[in-house]
Structure 1
């Protein structure tokens, strides 16, 4: 099966879904990654005294290291404006994403949920663009598209615990359609992928990424309701 992960920034794939991507590759699936920006507008660039373009080049090279570490079937990194997707004509974003979907013809697409997990506006734009495009393409005859899933965090308490200064958004338990159990080797692969982002190590530690993920990764699935949740995103396809 061909699986396409679509995110706005470098490291989005490693802040949660990467152990699932690794599992899927081991299971024999083709796993692709499309990242819309090079992430050059990050505040980290100020600490390093770099321009947006210079920081974007560094983060792109870090992404290449992630691609090699995972052994992805393919990866494309675009250069749309980081921290600026909300100011773009969404049709222009849809145009480039549509072209990539047509090239890969994935059965499964994975992106962010409506709350964007972090709440960052680039993530919110990503959700709206992908959902609309997925439905439009299916209505237009793209029969290869079988499922749209959204990476999320579960709301296990009324006031979820947060790590550091990062306030994360959560999905209600009733919205969780897939819970992927992680093995020790999956978590180690996530750590390896995160270590590729040399310039982001302080952010990764402050966010408590590995601790926040724990031993499961959760997904909503658009237009489907699975109780109990599926164990793999490719189940029942």
Structure 2
């Protein structure tokens, strides 16, 4: 089946979902990525002494490395304003997502959970517009996507990283995707593609924060016990 991840920035696909993406590809699913911005507003540009345009191009090249490492079925990177999605008319963002869905025709659409994990505004906007797109398509009777899922975070004890992360409640998690050793190595390799972001990766402790079981919520569906594949038990 086809799975489309929609995230706002380069590295969002690697900061957590990557072990699941690698597992999905290994199981024979087609996995696509749509990234709304080039991530050009990162503060790392000040450290490097470069402008937003050059930073965006560097991060795009880093994403091309990620595409190769994970073996994505397809990837598209848009050039909407990084850290500026909240200033856009949401229907403009929704339109480009609709267009991409029409091309890919994914069975499952995935974005951030409502809390955005880090709480970053672009993450919150992405959740809202992707959910709106999904609901619009359901109301119109569109055949795709058939399910909306939210990548999330779960940790019972306090995080050991530099950044505060928000977890979903255990009962909200509807699917845990388990990664193999090979999948988990691809997650590390994908993070290594982001040469300009290594300090952030180290500060976040993401390589230890993310385990071999990746949690997802599923919109308007509840599964107890949770599924182990986002394509299981989908309604027609």
Asked whether the two chains share a fold, i.e. TM above 0.5, the reply is yes
Instruction: Quote how far apart the aligned CAs of 1:35 are.
Output: 0.1
Other-structure match for 1:188: 185
SS of equivalent to 2:79 = coil
Render the CA deviation track for 1:111-136: whole Å, top value 9, x for unaligned: 00110011000000000000011010
Do the aligned partners of 1:25 and 1:31 also contact (CA within 8 Å) in 2?
yes
TM-score by length of 2: 0.97
- Provide the rounded CA distance (Å) in 1 between the counterparts of 2:108 and 2:32: 10
- Provide the rounded CA distance (Å) in 2 between the counterparts of 1:191 and 1:43: 23
SS of equivalent to 1:9 = coil
**Count of matched residue pairs:** 234
Instruction: Quote how far apart the aligned CAs of 1:102 are.
Output: 0.8
Render the CA deviation track for 1:20-72: whole Å, top value 9, x for unaligned: 11111111111100000000000000000010111000000000011111121
Render the CA deviation track for 1:135-164: whole Å, top value 9, x for unaligned: 1012112113211000111252xxx41233
Do the aligned partners of 2:70 and 2:190 also contact (CA within 8 Å) in 1?
yes
Other-structure match for 2:61: 61
Shifted more, 35-44 versus 181-190: the winner is 181-190
- Provide the rounded CA distance (Å) in 1 between the counterparts of 2:189 and 2:54: 24
Render the CA deviation track for 1:171-208: whole Å, top value 9, x for unaligned: 11111101112221111010010110000111101101
- Provide the rounded CA distance (Å) in 2 between the counterparts of 1:68 and 1:17: 16
Which stretches of structure 1, 4 residues or longer, exceed 4 Å deviation after superposition? none
2:160 is aligned with 1:163? yes
What RMSD over aligned residues (CA atoms) do the two structures have, in Å?
1.0
TM-score by length of 1: 0.96
Q: Which runs of 5+ in 2 are unaligned?
A: none
Other-structure match for 1:126: 126
SS of equivalent to 1:168 = coil
Q: Which runs of 5+ in 1 are unaligned?
A: none
